[in-house]
Chain A
Amino acid sequence: MITLENLTIQAGDFRLNDLSLHIPTGDYGVLMGETGSGKTTLVECLCGLRSQEKGKIKLAGRDVTYLRPGERNIGYVPQDGALFPNMTVRNHLALPLSIRKWKPEAIAQRTEQLSDLLGLGSLLDRFPATLSGGETQRVALGRALAFSPSTLVLDEPLSAMDDHTHQQMVKLLKNVQQWTSVTVLHITHSREEARQLADCQLVMRQTGHLEPVNQQKESARS
């Protein structure tokens, strides 16, 4: 469950006012918005990387408004992955677990599980510089899912991908959500992506105002 209650964020000259949003547990929420509407600002606030002026953030039924990023149990996949250039794929998956002081055997087991889920088997010992766009996003996804977070936030994860990779990733994201039953907030500006993935859709207007999109209407139109 992701709930925002009257969230107000001030970021430089930019301001988001009184945002409210609710995505039920296990749902795939898609937030659409034009460039410059403050999507990334909202994501950073949700992850605890930016503080809010007022309002409340609840994740999985817990008020996380004043918790630190690492305590919110939220997986974050930023735009174009932001992998760590000095780490192998295996180390990416292991990092959140070794921070949590997991035993090496448990980490190895979890790494294997993730690489099966995301098809990373042949990539485990490679460095980010040698990965393609789709592979990079899969690794970023694996890193975000490694510690089994309750919530997953994806910031335009499929932009700048060719059609074929795009389709594969859409399929993969659906599968991931089914297997892990994580609550997802997916940010995009593609209507097509929203239609393919969303359980519930929201549109962010230029003014920093959120509007729910009527699902029936949208599917009837398509």
Chain B
Amino acid sequence: MKTLSNNDEQKNAPNPQTNPAHKVRSDRPFHIAFILIAGTYLLLLLVMLLADASYMFQENSPEVLSHDWSIAHPWLARIVNNPIGAALSDSNIQYSIVLSLVSCTITAMLSLVVAIPVGYLLSRHQFFGKNLIDAIFDIPIVLPPLVVGLSLLILFQYAPPVIREQVVYQLPAVVLAQFVVACAFAVRTMRATFDLIDTRREKVALTLGCNKAQAFRLVVLPEAKSGILTAGTLAWARALGEFGPLLVFAGATRGKTEVLSTTVFLELSVGNLGAAVAVSLIMIMAAATVLIIIRTWGTNKLTL
């Protein structure tokens, strides 16, 4: 028996003399293909932003260019009289900048107040119907934005007229429309944050004499700090870009419920492309600032 099995093994064993050495094919095509695809997308993003910027400097009103000094220094004139400056001096646009900043900040804070408990509960507890509830919190992410706005509008048809008049097409509608969508993103981020935090530390805190609230405040929250910052800035950025629900639920009344994204739409609709691009650039700068904040102080482990 023993000799037989030995023979078998010898037969099946690869023979280094007769088997040619296995040659591994080059890695180069793999790297080239992936880098090309990544590079193309990166280029598309950068060129898009660059086009916005260059368009803005081309767009100058003829009367400005007819000044003596601006004929002598056309480039200087283009920089001084750029549409961003013009947009910033427009009182309607000033109002929409202020409203955007204030409403986005309120939305981000409200989102955190809701997302921290929701994220914690989803991360730490098992309960009946959890998958369903988890999916419900995703609704604002997957729903078409216009439908979110329409649903809010319909919801408030059932509200008492006193409340409806205070909210629909008024300032509270701006924050509410932003909040419904932005909060869902904050919830995702907070849940991922708490998932990454080891539960044993909370458990130790409980044995040390803390109750759940103390353990949460002293141990969990400090560890979640960068995640909270990420969730807050993400919610802020989402709120800034919110448009569909706003248009339906809050309207686009100049100087009342007009935020930056509405301004872009209003300027475009009257054919004022220069101003639309200028306001877009203001929003791009705000978004870039938020990105830098996330990258610098937020956690790298969270992606969305």
A contact set with B: CB distance below 8 Å? 44, 47-49, 68-70, 72, 74-76, 78-79, 82-86, 95-96, 99-100, 143-144, 146-147
Contacts and interface: CB of A to CB of B under 8 A. Distances in A.
B204 A78 contact: yes
A160 B248 CA distance: 61
Interface of B: 198, 200-201, 203-211, 214, 218-219, 222-223, 225
Nearest to A85: B223
B207 A76 contact: yes
Contacts of A70: 206-211
Contacts of B214: 99
Contacts of B223: 84-86
**Which 7 interchain pairs have the tightest Cβ spacing?**
A86-B222, A70-B209, A96-B208, A69-B206, A76-B207, A82-B200, A99-B209
A113 B209 CA distance: 20
Interface SS of B by simple majority:
helix
Nearest to A77: B204
A69 to B, nearest CB: 4
9 contacts: A49-B206, A70-B209, A70-B211, A72-B207, A76-B203, A78-B203, A99-B210, A143-B204, A147-B208
B208 A143 contact: yes
Give the most central of B205, B209, B211, B214: most A CB within 10 Å.
B209
B219 A69 contact: no
B200 A78 contact: yes
A49 B204 CA distance: 9
B201 A84 contact: yes
B203 A44 contact: yes
Contact of B207 (A48, A83, A84, A86): A48
A74 B207 contact: yes
